[in-house]
Structure 1
Amino acid sequence: MRCIVTGITEMSGTKVCMSLYSLEDKRYFRPLKNGYNFDISEILGIDLYSLVDVNPSGDELLMEYPHCEDLNIESPYFTFIREYTDKELYDFFTDTAYVDTKEMFGEGSLIKQGRTWGILSNTGKRSLGTVEVDYFEITKDTFNPEKPSYRVSFRDLSGELYSNIKFVIKALPSKKDEMLGEYEKEYEDDRLFLRLSLAREWNNGQWEDDMCVLQVSNFACFENKELVNL
């Protein structure tokens, strides 16, 4: 199955959470090995927006919404084909992005507890997707200097504002620091896209309900159909 690598996000230790988009099935999925996420050492040579071949194993996984995209794959896990071109990426994002974040996850499913956006377990219709925005900002919280937290605020094309969204791209802090700042659509041909995902259900101890927290996995900015942020 030929796919685009659309997300490589950080987890604890050396584990990473990945998202792929199947060009055959026209859908996102989360590749797993025997039900578990991959180690960073197992995806060497595979980067964001790589074109890869994967082989679904056929093993059934017990899934519940919104995390309905889990898929076990078998060895060889990721066969690198090539990097996706700017034009291919532009066409991919414009074809698959939503303009309304709430509509993408399912009307009425996205809620806010305190300062945090997310979805309750067994609600919504997906945990992976892309939204087009006209503005976003990446900031850095240095409350814990040894483990700074990166956050995103954005406005989707429906006009809805979201803030305090965790930025979870797998990258060195120095690389994330280079991404800090405001990004805004200035010209008609400018297009800004955010790859969104939902964390597994948890509770910070202050919420009334357990929740799958909204995250920003990565972003793509285009000027005249050329990718300008990588």
Structure 2
Amino acid sequence: MQIIVTDVTLMHNGHVCVAGWDLERKCMVRPLAGPGQHWAEEMAGEHLFEMGNVVQLVPSKARNTRGLPHAREDVIIKEEPELIGSVPPAQLPSRLAESEHASVRQLFAGHLKSGMYVLEGSDCPSLGAVSVDCRRMGFEEREKPKGPQLRCWFYDAEGVSYNFPVVSRTIRAMYEEGGLEAVVELRKRRRLAHVRLGLANPFKDDGRCWVMVNNVLFY
């Protein structure tokens, strides 16, 4: 299995969640190091897990312990991932266009609740993307008990507005180094944004899987 890495998101305790576009099956996948096991953050970066890198994976037959919606994309890997190439940035929008949905509602197959979350067990994708006009999207900070939270707001093709937290490893690094201004600068002189969305793990108390912005590609 060969994937174009699309999403590398920060998790707790020094791990990252990785997702990519399966070049053969033409679908999104979430490679796991083992059942429910994500990757050490040291594996993220230009040497392996970074947007645009092409990575060779060997799926195992291990049983996945997670249910829907995440089980739709989860693939447990049995060998070390191998970097075999990369897609030039200028070609990424066209190479990833097949992973886009017409709207956020269509991406989550009508299971989106209150414009913010999907319930555990919903039979819908947990990963995908939408194309957004750069004039109708942006970034902002929202105060939270643990400090400011970087968020991305946008209007999709159906004219519906959304506002989700940003968990992209790359964008968060820019934010931590240069503040909100550094992130806002990304969309200047760009026409469109390929906004990658994903569902967080379900909350134990209510089974809600909150929508997050996993990455944004401007072009």
Partner of residue 179, structure 1: 183
Pick closer, same or farther for the CA change 1:121–1:93 going to 2, 3 Å: same
Partner of residue 83, structure 1: 86
Shift of 1:60: 1.9
What does residue range 172-211 of structure 1 map to in structure 2 within 5 Å? 172=173, 173-174=176-177, 177=180, 178-180=182-184, 183=187, 190-202=191-203, 209-211=206-208
CA distance in 2, matches of 1:160, 1:62: 35
Which residues of structure 1 form unaligned runs of 5+? 223-230
- The structure with the largest helix share of the pair is 2
Pick closer, same or farther for the CA change 1:184–1:174 going to 2, 3 Å: closer
Partner of residue 127, structure 1: 126
Specify the code of the residue in structure 1 equivalent to 2:149: S
Partner of residue 226, structure 1: none
Pick closer, same or farther for the CA change 1:143–1:100 going to 2, 3 Å: closer
Pick closer, same or farther for the CA change 1:81–1:52 going to 2, 3 Å: same
Contact 2:126/2:198, CA 8 A, preserved across alignment: yes
Give the SS at the match of 1:91. helix
| Greater Cα shift, 148-157 or 193-202 | 148-157
1:145-187 per-position Cα deviation (integer Å, ceiling 9, x unaligned)? x753111111111111112x1100114211664113694898x
Pick closer, same or farther for the CA change 1:176–1:69 going to 2, 3 Å: farther
Count of matched residue pairs: 208
- Counterpart selection for 1:111 from 107, 110, 113: 113
Which residues of structure 2 form unaligned runs of 5+? none
Q: Does 1:60 align with 2:57?
A: no
CA distance in 2, matches of 1:143, 1:110: 23
Partner of residue 19, structure 1: 19
* Cα RMSD after superposing both structures: 2.3
TM-score by length of 1: 0.81
Specify the code of the residue in structure 1 equivalent to 2:93: Y
CA distance in 2, matches of 1:42, 1:214: 24
Identity of aligned residues (%): 23
CA distance in 1, matches of 2:153, 2:51: 22
Q: Does 1:49 align with 2:52?
A: yes
